[in-house]
Amino acid sequence: ELKVEQNPLFLSMQEGKNYTIYCNYSTTSDRLYWYRQDPGKSLESLFVLLSNGAVKQEGRLMASLDTKARLSTLHITAAVHDLSATYFCAALGRSRDFNNAGNMLTFGGGTRLMVKP
């Protein structure tokens, strides 16, 4: 069974600082996703990582994937207040029902990021 762990679960940081969120998963996965969730809202897709060594960047966020270590990271550069949100990683794994064509996502516990002005 695929398990996904994120750390830290809560992160308070000052504007302008850098930090990294870690996402470990327990078994082989086809894809690794990062999402952002604002309070009371649904998920906003940030990145999808498909292969070992994949790196994607959007603004102050950069995501990477190491499939051998089963680790993905989300790096925040020079944080700003607008980045305050909860960030989830999710790994794509096979559905437990093999008659089901869909592959299921398993989510990490989330990292609640608060960037202080």
Partner 1 sequence: GAVVSQHPSRVICKSGTSVKIECRSLDFQATTMFWYRQFPKQSLMLMATSNEGSKATYEQGVEKDKFLINHASLTLSTLTVTSAHPEDSSFYICSGQGSTGTDTQYFGPGTRLTVL
Give how far Cα 66 sits from Cα of 11, 23, 37, 117, Å.
Answer: 23, 10, 24, 33
3-state secondary structure at position 94: coil
Q: How many other β-carbons are positioned within 10 Å of the β-carbon of residue 52?
A: 10
User: Shortest distance, CB of residue 23 to partner 1, whole angstroms?
Assistant: 12
Q: Of the ranges 11-19, 57-65, 71-79, 88-96, which one interacts with partner 1 (CB under 8 A)? A: 88-96
Among 2, 13, 22, 43, binds partner 1 (CB under 8 A): 43
* Residues binding partner 1 (CB under 8 A): 30-31, 33, 40-43, 45, 48, 88, 92, 95-97, 99-110, 112
